[in-house]
């Protein structure tokens, strides 16, 4: 999963310099990719809420900068799934 995620993301980043890219995927693929990009900084207990949004900036293709992770502020509170 990580190999395919990295390959796809690297192609998107290289093909769209200085552009915004939205990636929608399944939980596990996103979790594994974010864990890798953040250098293993996520706790084993960390989960991404369903329909959450995370933002990484890439000042260079090999230097991701985390802006936020697992944000659900776009979902009305009564409908937010609490992890």
pTM, 2 dp: 0.81
8 Å CB contact between 56 and 37 = yes
pLDDT, one tens digit for every residue, the chain (83 residues): 999 999 999 999 999 988 999 999 999 999 999 999 988 877 877 888 889 999 999 988 888 999 999 999 999 988 887 65
Nearest Cα neighbor of 68 from 56, 81, 80, 78 is 56
CA 31 to chain centre: 7
pLDDT value at residue 14? 92
pLDDT value at residue 82? 63
Buried b (16+ CB within 10 A) or exposed e, 71-81: ebeeeeeeeee
Residue 17 phi, psi dihedral angles, 5° rounding: -65, 140
pLDDT value at residue 79? 87
């Amino acid at each position: 999963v990580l190999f395919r995620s990295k390959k796809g993301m690297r192609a998107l980043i290289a093909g769209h310099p200085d552009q915004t890219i939205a990636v929608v995927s399944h939980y596990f693929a996103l979790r594994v990719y974010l864990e890798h990009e953040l250098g293993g900084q996520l706790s084993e207990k960390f989960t991404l809420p369903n329909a959450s949004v995370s933002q990484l900036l890439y000042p260079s293709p090999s230097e991701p900068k985390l802006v936020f992770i697992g944000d659900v502020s776009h979902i009305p509170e009564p409908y937010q799934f609490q992890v």
